[in-house]
Structure 1
Amino acid sequence: MQWEGISEFVYVAENESFTQASKKMAISTAQVSRQISALEKRLNVKLFYRTTRKVSLTEEGRVFYQHCRSVLDGLDEAERAITNLQSRPQGKVKLTAPVTYGERQILPLINDFMLQYTDVEVSAYLSNQQVDLVDEGYDLAIRLGKLSDSSMMAKKLGKRTNYVCASPAYLEKYGTPHSLSELDKHRCLLGTLDYWRFSEAGKEKNIRVSGNLRYNSGFALVDAALKGLGIVQLPDYYVQQHQQSGELVTLLDNYRGPDEGIWAIYPHNRHLSPKIRLLVDYLAQHIV
């Protein structure tokens, strides 16, 4: 009894027509009308304004629709979840990711994923430019740092840490900075930004830095730091192995900025396909 009329109500609300709702539900218009009338009587509220030309939701109807739509979506999702347990994911996945992070972290994990799910086809495009997922037909994007596109759904996969480093040879020649104010006395190896991110007294702080070398390649910046050309700030996946070997020394640990998110971004779609959901969950489980 509690569910009677809910589907009819949602179909009418979305089609703004009793006739169109009846066609899509493959039942008579009279049956749709009876179910809506019974629902309004049970709720003791008017859900629709009815004229000869148009059917529209009342204010109470709009509130009720939002909740009913969520409930029906949840039921659809539950049904798909059961169905998916009995079938393997298959089909094409088109994704994009930043170049270096994609090469080092994402694509190897996708290779492992495809060993388990052989019916999935993956096409990956690596770029440091943010592509339009909808216009260019992407199912998924991997993005780093703060998110700005609120029209997309997002799942956090992990985090990355930025480190300030220099070689022992550089520090022996030019000294070791112990405060942010000392950075302007040093040769800083620049990437695409003119500032580095730090945290001071619990607050995020961007410090403008300068130097005589600028690359848009993290690998080239690491190589420059290893050769003693200056101090660099880079994410962990560029420098960790060199920190562990002693080739690079970590600096200004007390001012290290907050960790940045690693995100899976996908178009807003309440019917996210099984293969995309499974791939996103796999990445979240295996990204360190």
Structure 2
Amino acid sequence: MQRWDRVEAFIEVVRLGAFNAAAERLRVSSSHVSRLVSQLESQLDTPLLYRTTRRISLTEAGRLYYQHCHHLFDGFREAEAAVKELQTRPSGLLGLTCATTFGERYLAPLVHDFMRLHPQLEVKMHFTNRQVDIIDEGFDIAIRMGTLQDSTLIARRLCERREFVVGSPDYFRHHGQPHALSELSRHRCLVGTREYWRFDVDGVRREIRVDGPWRGNSGPALLDAALKGLGLAQLPGYYVDEHLASGDLISVLDPYQHDDTAVWAVYPRHRHRSPKVRQFLDYLVDSLGPRLPGNARGR
């Protein structure tokens, strides 16, 4: 059987012109390199090198053997480099799931930008307001908003997500503005996917059940109802920021705004070892917050 360490020692001696240089490259002793080359010569039953105290040179057999063998180790190094590159660049299929509106507005453009940076990557995006079991359904990452439920999944905070209680000027003209949480029971509250709203009272999270004439599971529909004066809504900043700036909506109860909510990426523990997952999450952390309306608005 061929001993590749002997062949590698011989090739490095020829390339570098000295046993000590080859030993330094291979991180072994000079005597070990000399012994490997001697073993190779014995194996081939012919001398490959002329050795003197000043220099080494190739025999005819050594020259022929070098010509046939040196490209093999070049190929080995190229193969190692290719595997290492595969381990450091995003490639393969990246499966993502996210709530529909957030995914369409904010996640998809970032995914497309990331794909332009890494054209070897394939992506499958699935937008739904249903909470997907990413392990059973074969996704790498789920993007979730708000306060996370306890889970065996790993969660990474991508950016802040601030929620505002808002109403239209027309609604406030008819019903007045609430200044305390206890006043919410007297207001028409538009109910989305949660039947309670979250607030912060002296550093403690408080959840208040709300009720009103409208219920739905669509953020854009909830926003439209609030803009048309049907009641108060609690919505994240990326829905309402432009309407607060224009005056079409007014934010109330800001002193009670809670700050334990965020945009999260959740994924199975072992997936973070994948370059496509790790680098995409890093990209989202760097890119999502600055693009998300409402995060910079003060209390």
Spell out, residue by residue over 1:71-112, the C-alpha distance to the aligned partner (whole angstroms, 9 max, x if none).
xxxxxxxx99x9349964221111111112111211111011
TM-score, length basis structure 1:
0.68
CA distance in 2, matches of 1:261, 1:155: 10
CA distance in 1, matches of 2:89, 2:115: 12
The code of the aligned residue for 2:246 comes to S
Instruction: Identify the range of structure 1 (164-173 vs 193-202) with the bigger mean alpha-carbon deviation.
Output: 193-202
Percentage of matched positions with identical amino acids: 50
TM-score, length basis structure 2:
0.66
Spell out, residue by residue over 1:170-222, the C-alpha distance to the aligned partner (whole angstroms, 9 max, x if none).
11111111111111111111112221111112211111211111111111111
Change (3 A) 1:184 1:266: same
The code of the aligned residue for 1:280 comes to L
Answering whether residue 99 of structure 2 is matched by residue 106 of structure 1, we say: no
CA distance in 2, matches of 1:88, 1:144: 28
Change (3 A) 1:86 1:142: closer
RMSD: 2.1
Whether contact under 8 Å (2:156, 2:264) holds in the other structure is: yes
Whether contact under 8 Å (1:163, 1:234) holds in the other structure is: yes
CA distance in 2, matches of 1:113, 1:178: 44
Answering whether residue 139 of structure 2 is matched by residue 138 of structure 1, we say: yes
Whether contact under 8 Å (1:94, 1:124) holds in the other structure is: yes
Whether contact under 8 Å (1:165, 1:250) holds in the other structure is: yes
Answering whether residue 243 of structure 2 is matched by residue 236 of structure 1, we say: no
1:1-12 residue pairs with structure 2 within 5 A? none
Whether contact under 8 Å (2:199, 2:205) holds in the other structure is: yes
The code of the aligned residue for 2:107 comes to I
1:104-183 residue pairs with structure 2 within 5 A? 104-183=105-184
Answering whether residue 221 of structure 2 is matched by residue 220 of structure 1, we say: yes
Q: Secondary structure at the match of 2:84?
A: helix
Q: Alpha-carbon deviation of 1:271?
A: 6.5
Q: Alpha-carbon deviation of 1:149?
A: 4.7
Greater Cα radius of gyration, structure 1 or 2: 2
CA distance in 1, matches of 2:238, 2:205: 22
The code of the aligned residue for 2:239 comes to Y
Q: Alpha-carbon deviation of 1:231?
A: 0.8
CA distance in 1, matches of 2:87, 2:194: 49
CA distance in 2, matches of 1:104, 1:271: 25
CA distance in 2, matches of 1:128, 1:186: 27
Instruction: Give aligned pairs, total.
Output: 209
Task: Identify the residue that residue 286 of structure 2 maps to in structure 1.
Answer: 285
5+ unaligned residues in a row in structure 1: which ranges? Answer: 1-78
CA distance in 2, matches of 1:210, 1:216: 15
CA distance in 2, matches of 1:149, 1:197: 17
Change (3 A) 1:129 1:271: closer
Change (3 A) 1:205 1:149: closer
Spell out, residue by residue over 1:43-89, the C-alpha distance to the aligned partner (whole angstroms, 9 max, x if none).
xxxxxxxxxxxxxxxxxxxxxxxxxxxxxxxxxxxx99x93499642
Q: Secondary structure at the match of 1:287?
A: helix
1:28-39 residue pairs with structure 2 within 5 A? none
Whether contact under 8 Å (2:162, 2:262) holds in the other structure is: no
Task: Identify the residue that residue 14 of structure 1 maps to in structure 2.
Answer: none
Q: Secondary structure at the match of 1:124?
A: strand
CA distance in 2, matches of 1:197, 1:250: 15
Q: Secondary structure at the match of 2:270?
A: coil
Answering whether residue 87 of structure 2 is matched by residue 89 of structure 1, we say: no
CA distance in 2, matches of 1:121, 1:240: 33
Change (3 A) 1:93 1:149: farther
Whether contact under 8 Å (1:162, 1:259) holds in the other structure is: no
Q: Secondary structure at the match of 2:277?
A: helix
Whether contact under 8 Å (2:140, 2:271) holds in the other structure is: no
Instruction: Identify the range of structure 1 (88-97 vs 268-277) with the bigger mean alpha-carbon deviation.
Output: 268-277
The code of the aligned residue for 1:204 comes to R
The code of the aligned residue for 1:168 comes to P
Change (3 A) 1:243 1:141: same
Change (3 A) 1:88 1:176: same
Q: Alpha-carbon deviation of 1:261?
A: 2.1
Whether contact under 8 Å (1:161, 1:260) holds in the other structure is: yes
CA distance in 1, matches of 2:89, 2:199: 45
CA distance in 2, matches of 1:227, 1:261: 28
